[in-house]
Amino acid sequence: MVAKQSGLRTKWAQDQITVTPQYDFQASPEKIDDIMGDETLAVWWSAIFPASYQVFFHDGFHQGLGNWLNKWDKNPLYYLNRVINLKYYQRLLRILNAKPRELQSHLLPWLKYPYNTHADGVILIGDAGGFPCPLEAEGIYPAMITGKAAAEVAAEAISSEDFSKNFLSKYDKVWKNTTVGEDFETGEELYNIWKALPFSPQETMSWFVPMFMEAMGGIYDWSQPHAKRVRQIASQIKSYMPKALPFIMKYVFPLVAKIFEEDLDKMIDPQKLMSVIPKVMDLIPKKKNHGGMIHEIQWFNKTHPWHIRFYIY
């Protein structure tokens, strides 16, 4: 409302704001302490719903999810109910003896980078300024940090008796020099990863979740000798590479390059990478009498282009 009345913006674009429904559950503090302990936050990832968050409080918890306004193909409650109806989730509700209190919903800005944060006599902080974290849209900490920055600049404005937009531009310099500003230095890359991964369940999570579970948990499967299980894991992970490698090159490498800047070329030399990849691929079991598939990827950075060809058999 303040941003609109001050002329800073009319409204958020559909790819700048999320709709976030959540169920609020009541549970006894004793059961929460005994069963959940210090586990106050959980994220549920799946191929059948966008990433869902669970946050515990003293006497209950929230279960919610969200996505950008232009990404929904069904009512958001359809996807939230899929979380609630999971067999494991129903079991959790039973052991906590949790009871639903109410359904809540709110709109949450989610930007690659904040803009139009001040005008004559106006400074926007927190959600109003578009400051939720660009990776997972956590907003409490950015609201505290930007609120402190705004208070500092407002105090200077009062002392100088100057509330002009030009004077209040100091606010941008202050918040950009905080941990919030540091997060937004890679804001576009973080935003794009979240959009392409947990907010794209059918397109991406359908292969990411089983690949991740295989890589992280498969080695602890004691039903078979570990050496055999490792070979199975390697073979299974290899089957996901045609989808995983383009994702890594398109979304992960730009983030890494942005974080390390010029140091990336020293850490990952393309020629060295090209010499290592065939050796790694040779370690992965190959099926007999099975044709190979060539997978090509191009990626460009400031110094030189990378052109990598992967042979996936």
Where are the domains positioned within the chain? 2-9+113-185, 17-109, 200-312
**Predicted pLDDT at 299:** 44
List, in sequence order, the alpha helices (H) in the chain. Answer: 2-5, 29-31, 76-84, 87-96, 140-160, 165-168, 170-176, 179-184, 187-196, 206-217, 226-247, 253-260, 263-267, 270-283
**Predicted pLDDT at 281:** 59
**Predicted pLDDT at 214:** 84
| CA–CA gap between residue 86 and residue 92 (Å, rounded) | 10
**Predicted pLDDT at 287:** 54
**Predicted pLDDT at 304:** 42
**Predicted pLDDT at 216:** 79
| CA–CA gap between residue 31 and residue 97 (Å, rounded) | 8
| CA–CA gap between residue 24 and residue 55 (Å, rounded) | 10
**Predicted pLDDT at 52:** 94
CATH architecture entry for 17-109: 2-Layer Sandwich (3.30)
For the segment 149-173, what is each residue's pLDDT rounded down to a tens digit? 999 999 999 999 999 999 999 999 9
For the segment 190-246, what is each residue's pLDDT rounded down to a tens digit? 999 999 999 999 899 999 998 988 887 777 777 788 888 888 888 888 899 999 989
Position of tokens 């009541």? 26
Residues in the chain, pLDDT under 50: 288-313
| CA–CA gap between residue 236 and residue 207 (Å, rounded) | 11
Cβ neighbours for 232, distance < 8 A, ≥ 6 positions apart: 218, 224
Q: Are 277 and 203 in contact (CB under 8 A)?
A: no
